[in-house]
Amino acid sequence: MNKKLDTQKKLFNRLICDLYPISDESISLLWNQMTLHRYPKNTFLVPVDTQKKVTYFILKGFAKAYTLEEGKENISRFIREGEFTSRSISRCIYEKSMVNVELLEDSLLLSIPFASLDNLFENNLELMKWSKRYYETQILGLEHFLSSVYFMKAEERYENLKEYAPKIVERVTLKVLASFLRITPESLSRIRKQGARRIKRSRKPNDLKGLGAI
């Protein structure tokens, strides 16, 4: 294994174990079934209504999953390092994609056929446990998203996202973030300005000491 590939394998090991620690042997079984890809920003990994034969694991990069309704983009999920492009990663061989998956950054990805992935999860106990934990986190993420859409005001959705996923807020454009929050870019811009004014008013003179050292 060359040095560059070895670095990518170590990154893969870390991302897998960040979710649920498993042995190097089990990770290698998964790695050996995968193919490495480099794709530029704006690449469509999974167009809607196409047969899903493979899924992608993001080593480096960022993607969005969305649907189009009367030309309007509705983002349902951001996909980050350590995640597969499919929310469910088992028994999806014959399903068609219900969403578009598009890269938001130049990305380094690993692809694997669903049939191979399913076989590994069925025959390796550690990978089976890892897939269970992965699926649980995806379900929790979906529940959190739906509850924010249906039960929170726009301002609350934005503040909630900033609190629990600040890196997402930093990585996406205003337009993309507004689509995820189900509001217009103009509304999001107004919410941000109102938040900035509240922070400014709440600061005391002593709060500003030492800012030059940051």
Q: Over the stretch 144-176, which tens digit does the pLDDT of each residue have? A: 888 888 899 989 999 988 988 899 999 999 999
Separation between Cα atoms, residue 63 and residue 168, nearest integer Å: 11
Which carries the bigger pLDDT value, residue 24 or residue 196? Answer: 24
Residue 8's pLDDT is what?
A: 95
Q: What share of the chain has pLDDT > 90, as a percent?
A: 58
The arithmetic mean of pLDDT across residues 6-27, rounded, is 96
User: In this structure, are 109 and 164 located in the same domain?
Assistant: no
Residue 213's pLDDT is what?
A: 36
Which carries the bigger pLDDT value, residue 141 or residue 19? Answer: 19
Separation between Cα atoms, residue 40 and residue 104, nearest integer Å: 9
Separation between Cα atoms, residue 106 and residue 62, nearest integer Å: 8
Give the pLDDT band (50/70/90) at residue 207.
Answer: very low
The arithmetic mean of pLDDT across residues 46-68, rounded, is 87
The arithmetic mean of pLDDT across residues 92-120, rounded, is 86
Using the structure block, give the residue that is written with the tokens 């807020």.
Answer: 169
The amino acid at residue 150 is: Y
- DSSP secondary structure, 92-114, as one string: -TTPBPSSEEEESS-EEEEEEEH
Give the pLDDT band (50/70/90) at residue 5.
Answer: confident
User: In this structure, are 39 and 84 located in the same domain?
Assistant: yes
Is residue 207, in this structure, part of any structural domain at all?
no
Q: Is the pLDDT of residue 90 over 70?
A: no
Residue 141's pLDDT is what?
A: 87
Is residue 195, in this structure, part of any structural domain at all?
yes
Residue 47's pLDDT is what?
A: 73
Q: What share of the chain has pLDDT > 70, as a percent?
A: 86
Residue 91's pLDDT is what?
A: 52
Mean pLDDT across the chain, nearest whole number?
86
Q: Strand 63-69 and strand 100-103: pairing? A: antiparallel
Structurally, how many domains does the chain consist of? 2
User: In this structure, are 70 and 173 located in the same domain?
Assistant: no
Q: Torsions phi, psi of 113, nearest 5? A: -65, 145
User: In this structure, are 105 and 180 located in the same domain?
Assistant: no
User: In this structure, are 141 and 156 located in the same domain?
Assistant: no
Give the pLDDT band (50/70/90) at residue 7.
Answer: very high
Q: Which residue in 68, 20, 26, 17 sits closest to 47, CA to CA?
A: 68
Instruction: Using only the alpha carbons of the chain, give its radius of gyration.
Output: 20
User: In this structure, are 79 and 170 located in the same domain?
Assistant: no
User: In this structure, are 126 and 188 located in the same domain?
Assistant: no
User: In this structure, are 47 and 103 located in the same domain?
Assistant: yes
Q: Is the pLDDT of residue 211 over 80?
A: no
Domain of 143 in residue numbering reads as 1-147
Listed range (25-29, 63-67, 210-214) with the worst mean pLDDT = 210-214
Residue 146's pLDDT is what?
A: 86
Separation between Cα atoms, residue 113 and residue 110, nearest integer Å: 10
